[in-house]
Amino acid sequence: MSDQPPSDVHVASINRLKLAVATAVIRCKASHVTAKEYAQSLGQSLRKNESDWKDQARKLEAELLRTRQELATARLREARQDQEQDDMEWDMDEKESNQGNVALQSSAACPDFAFPTPPSSIPNEQPSQNNLENHLRSSTQFLHSMIRLKSLPESTEYDSLPVDALRTVKDSALRALEYLGSYASSHLHDDGLPWKLMNDAVRGVVKTLEHCTEEEIRREIVQGALELVEKLLELMLHNKRLNDHLTQRQLCCLVVSLATSTILAPLILQRILPHIQAAAAMLRCSINTTSFDPTLYENSFFLLSMMEDILLLSRTAPSVHNRGDHMKRALMEVGEGLDSCLLHISEDFPLFSQQIWRVVNILEWIISTKTEG
């Protein structure tokens, strides 16, 4: 019955109900406002309530994640301390079996063991939950705490963590990427933007990606990182403050830092290429028309500079073959794409063409040296 179309009686009933609601709304309006103005104010009130509800949900999600982060860090600390205590007791038993009562003297002479606990994932002061910077700082601190635990001798592999702790690591990395993109979008031209915190967040995500071999989690983090890259590239390309070189370079640094991941590097290069091709197409079209876009033209140089930085970073990375066919294919794809960008524009736009040639030469040199190595 539910799949059948509504009958005429049902349609008429619905129309009568709508008319009754509209009549009740009109009768409830104040005398000094029109029916249209009153209906618009009701709509705005409903939208505001919906927005408030979503904000409250985001606050609760952030608070829940902070609690999970604190719990996961505390449990891992406790597990590390218990393991260390067991090792110390085993050592003491072994000394007693070999040296008898001498073990007591040697134990007293031993220096105290200082367990290098990571910093707390929660700031001392509880921040306002609607502050993106505080959300970003909380997730960043947690990721670096986990990385520090991972760097300790005989530390637990990420994939050996309890399921809830592993999910907390994944959610923290994804939220850090989300908060970073939202914060950069809404505060890009603010004075005193916390670039160091933003770079720390990127490094924490990259390290997390390196330490985690769980395929599904890595896939989700990679997807979140690429979404952030696209957002940063858009911010860079549409920045109309052409003299704001500092902001542009900082955005470049965030993308280049993400590209230090051998997993992300080829994917980021492939994401940058279409934007450079779009700039080249605009220049090619502007030769015979008035479609020249100065903002896109000027900002495209930052993309080429960023691509150059990423390629130069790969000099110290393992060879193309050791990093897999994906990187080799990406380098070849980028090289072919950049070559096609030069079609019909090299004489009219020599600076743009020269920068592309520079990147292509670096790319070809990297492919040849890494293939030989």
- pLDDT, tens digit (0-9, with 9 covering 90-100), for 255-309: 999 999 999 999 999 999 999 999 999 999 999 998 899 999 999 999 999 999 9
Q: Which two tokens stand for residue 133?
A: 């910077």
Confidence of residue 135 (pLDDT cuts 50, 70, 90): confident
Whether the per-residue pLDDT at 77 is higher than 90: the answer is no
Whether the per-residue pLDDT at 167 is higher than 80: the answer is yes
φ and ψ at 321, to 5 degrees? -70, -40
Alpha-carbon Rg of the chain, whole angstroms? 29
Which is more confidently placed, 19 or 239? 239
pLDDT mean over 151-172: 70
Query: Alpha-carbon distance 105 to 309, whole Å?
Result: 58
- Per the CB < 8 A criterion, the answer to whether 115 and 80 are in contact is yes
- How high is the pLDDT of residue 108? 36
Neighbours of 35 (CB within 10 A): 12
pLDDT mean over 88-105: 44
Which is more confidently placed, 224 or 125? 224
- How high is the pLDDT of residue 189? 84
The residues, any chain, with a CB within 8 Å of residue 261's CB and separated by 6 or more, are 206, 209, 210, 225
- How high is the pLDDT of residue 120? 43
- How high is the pLDDT of residue 75? 79
Query: Alpha-carbon distance 117 to 101, whole Å?
Result: 33
- Candidates 135, 229, 230; CA nearest to 143 is 135
Whether the per-residue pLDDT at 122 is higher than 60: the answer is no
How much is the mean pLDDT over the chain? 79
Using CA atoms, how far residue 95 sits from 81, 101, 108, 181, 187, in Å, is: 21, 9, 13, 56, 61
Query: Alpha-carbon distance 48 to 317, whole Å?
Result: 51
Question: Which range (51-65, 104-118, 137-151) has the least confidence?
Answer: 104-118
Which is more confidently placed, 225 or 2? 225
- How high is the pLDDT of residue 269? 95
Which is more confidently placed, 133 or 77? 133
Q: Which two tokens stand for residue 281?
A: 């197409």
- pLDDT, tens digit (0-9, with 9 covering 90-100), for 208-245: 998 887 889 999 999 999 999 999 999 999 999 988 89
Map residue 242 onto helix, strand or coil.
Answer: coil
Confidence of residue 65 (pLDDT cuts 50, 70, 90): confident
- How high is the pLDDT of residue 40? 75
Question: Which range (148-157, 178-187, 256-265, 341-350) has the least confidence?
Answer: 148-157
Domain boundaries in the chain?
259-373
Query: Alpha-carbon distance 168 to 328, whole Å?
Result: 34
- How high is the pLDDT of residue 345? 93
Query: Alpha-carbon distance 41 to 46, whole Å?
Result: 9
